[in-house]
Amino acid sequence: MKIYMIRHGKTAGNLKGRYIGKTDEPLCEEGRAELARGCYVLQEHSAGEAADRRNGGDAAVSAGQKKDGDAAVSVGQKKDGDAAAPEALYVSPLLRCRQTAELLFPGIVQSIVPDFRECDFGSFENKNYRELSGDAAYQAWIDSGGTLPFPGGESREEFQERCVRAFRGMLAEAEKNGCREIACVVHGGTIMSVLSAMASVRRGYFDYQVKNGCGYLVEWKEGEQAGDVTVAGRIDCRDAACREKE
């Protein structure tokens, strides 16, 4: 089974570098525009290839509707001459993910997965590093390499456990329904949690960090007891104007 794991598009909080977890904000104008014009393409890897490979003769596949010059396979909704849309679409309940899913896969029924929601950042929620400068709890969290629980929020372990549980539940449901290609529109933290725990080649949590609108293609062998997934590709921005803002 192929699974496209896509992080939601940009929000106002993202542009300001804020910790946006349970805050239910919409996509910003810039985020909607980037998704609508199909900035994001898949660079396919050979099976088992390192997750951070970015260049070198890879096939380009649109992460939304097919545009001129893209490869024949589209991740978005079927248009004339395009490949079929994913057979199932799983989405975080937060508005930014639901709006992203609608832009990339218009008209496809969204299956909401509550435990795909972003981490609860506790007292850091909706603040950026400037606003947290001088906060002893924030400095302690930074010094820990991000391993301490968020004050008043979740620990990484709690967050990862619920994300992995939800992801495995999604796989079981999709397998039961005979799906061969699905997509999930979630959060950066959700993607990092799942892949650092389930990728066949284990890497660190932050090694799977992706920008807004980006993500991974992973493959899962149905019925596999270990539940491991193989990273088979990476969805990145192909728009020069987009990259200049990063």
Residue 140 located in a structural domain = no
Residue 209 located in a structural domain = yes
Residue 142 located in a structural domain = no
Residue 149 located in a structural domain = no
Q: Which domain covers residue 213, as residue numbers?
A: 2-119+154-244
* Per-residue confidence (pLDDT) for residue 225, from 0 to 100: 54
The vertex-94 CA angle with 91 and 97, nearest 5°, equals 50
Distance from the Cα of residue 162 to its chain's centroid: 16
Residue 168 located in a structural domain = yes
CATH number of the domain encompassing residue 235: 3.40.50.1240
- How does DSSP classify residue 118? P
Q: What total number of domains does the chain contain?
A: 1
Helix (H) or strand (E) holding 186: strand 181-186
pLDDT in tens, 31-53: 999 998 876 777 776 444 444 44
Assess contact for 128 and 13: CB atoms under 8 A. Answer: no
Residue 136 located in a structural domain = no
Is the pLDDT at 54 greater than 50? The verdict is no
pLDDT in tens, 105-153: 999 999 999 999 999 999 999 999 999 999 999 999 999 999 999 999 9
pLDDT in tens, 200-218: 988 999 999 999 999 999 9
Of 54 and 213, the structure prediction assigns the larger pLDDT to 213
